[in-house]
């Protein structure tokens, strides 16, 4: 589902497929059968992926369609929908599948089921409250330390790598929410930002939305000015509410930074030991 940095990917409802022909698209629908009809063989050249908005739909049509198309399963209620993931496991035979799970206080069980089934996971984060932050910390500890977890859990996975390689990627990119590169097209055809808190529809220059926000945050001497994680975050948690307090999310970043240091230390020790033994 990762898009080339210079390409704009449009997240469109399935009925807009004809209008966006020739452009890179992520096509969303409640009904897999609609997708199969809208995108027959030979119509998928610019397809970045598909997004299923309902875990209750019959997925057999998608399991028999195409090959290697990134599929994003959008979960709405982790507390009640985690059991629905089992019936989607068959998709993994043909497609890379990710589950997008809303960061709510009851998300842990859904993450455990998703990773156990072999799905990658993306947490839809927003501006988490304290109960959600506690759940995210549990997921982070699970992701870092549980030996059974072999699938990426985003944004933790990419942030960990970016700490390790000292090559920061902001959460706007990791979460696929920078409208310069990923544009959400509403059902009535308006382009806006992917993260859309209720009642929010960003318009104007979407190409400079993140850069403009960052300029404002720095000009206003916000918490971001002194934040050691700005290169990894990019002011992500200061939207839509600029007064959101970041002490909780900084703890998550700190845990990731410490884990990358521990990883570096372990790898250096391992490499030195191999050199010593000549193996
Ligand atoms: S963690 Fe908060 S203060 Fe730090 S860069 Fe992100 S939004 Fe700004």
* Phi/psi at 236 (5° precision): -55, -40
Q: Which of 108, 170, 162 is nearest to 133 (CA)?
A: 108
| E strands present in 31-91 | 47-52, 71-74
Task: Report the run of H or E that residue 86 belongs to, with start and end.
Answer: none
Q: How far is the CA of 267 from the centre of ligand 1 (A)?
A: 30
Q: Which residues contact 114 (CB under 8 A, 6 or more apart)?
A: 82, 85, 99, 101, 121, 151
CB 62 within 8 A of CB 44: no
Q: How far is the CA of 61 from the centre of ligand 1 (A)?
A: 42
Q: Is the CB of 233 under 6 A from ligand 1?
A: yes
For 152-159, the CB contacts below 8 A with 24+ separation are 152/120, 152/121, 153/111, 153/115, 153/120, 153/121, 153/122, 153/123, 154/120, 154/121, 154/122, 154/123, 155/122, 155/123, 155/125, 156/123, 156/252, 156/256, 159/232, 159/253, 159/256
Q: How far is the CA of 127 from the centre of ligand 1 (A)?
A: 11
Nearest CA to ligand 1 atom 2: 246
Task: Report the run of H or E that residue 183 belongs to, with start and end.
Answer: strand 182-185
- Using DSSP bridges, classify how beta strands 182-185 and 191-192 pair: parallel, antiparallel or unpaired: antiparallel
pLDDT (tens, 9 = 90+) of the chain, 279 residues, equals 544 456 899 999 999 999 999 999 999 999 999 999 998 876 778 899 999 999 998 888 888 888 899 999 999 999 999 999 999 999 999 999 999 999 999 999 999 999 999 999 999 999 999 999 999 999 999 999 998 888 999 999 999 999 999 998 899 999 999 999 999 999 999 999 987 766 676 767 899 999 999 999 999 999 999 999 999 999 999 999 999 999 999 999 999 999 999 988 888 888 878 777 766
Alpha helices in the chain (DSSP H): 32-38, 60-63, 78-81, 108-117, 130-145, 156-164, 171-174, 209-219, 230-233, 247-277
Q: Is the CB of 227 under 6 A from ligand 1?
A: yes
Using most ligand atoms within 8 A of CB, pick from 173, 222, 229, 245 the residue to mutate for ligand 1.
229
Q: How far is the CA of 38 from the centre of ligand 1 (A)?
A: 41
């Amino acid at each position: 589902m990762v898009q080339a940095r210079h390409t704009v990917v449009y997240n469109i409802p399935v009925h807009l497929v004809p209008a966006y022909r020739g452009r890179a698209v992520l096509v969303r629908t409640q009904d897999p059968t609609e997708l199969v009809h809208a995108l027959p063989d030979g119509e998928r050249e610019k397809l970045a992926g598909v997004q299923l908005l309902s875990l209750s739909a019959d997925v057999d049509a998608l399991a028999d369609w195409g090959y290697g198309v990134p599929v994003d399963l959008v979960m709405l209620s982790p507390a009640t929908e985690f059991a629905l993931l089992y019936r989607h496991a068959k998709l993994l035979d043909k497609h890379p599948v990710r589950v997008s799970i809303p960061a709510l206080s009851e998300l842990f069980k859904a993450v455990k089921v998703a990773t156990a089934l072999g799905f990658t996971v993306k947490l839809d984060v927003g501006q988490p409250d304290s109960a959600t932050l506690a759940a995210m910390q549990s997921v982070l500890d699970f992701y870092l330390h549980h030996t059974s977890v072999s699938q990426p859990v985003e944004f933790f996975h990419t942030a960990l790598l970016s700490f390790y390689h000292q090559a920061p990627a902001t959460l706007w990119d990791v979460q696929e929410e920078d409208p310069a590169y990923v544009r959400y097209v509403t059902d009535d055809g308006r382009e806006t930002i992917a993260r859309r808190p209720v009642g929010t529809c960003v318009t104007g220059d979407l190409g400079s939305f993140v850069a403009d926000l960052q300029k404002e945050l720095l000009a206003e001497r916000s918490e971001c000015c002194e934040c050691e994680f700005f290169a990894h975050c990019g002011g992500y948690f200061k939207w839509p509410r600029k007064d959101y307090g970041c002490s909780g999310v900084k703890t998550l970043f700190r845990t990731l930074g410490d884990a990358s240091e521990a990883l570096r230390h372990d790898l250096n020790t391992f490499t030195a030991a191999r050199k010593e033994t000549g193996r």
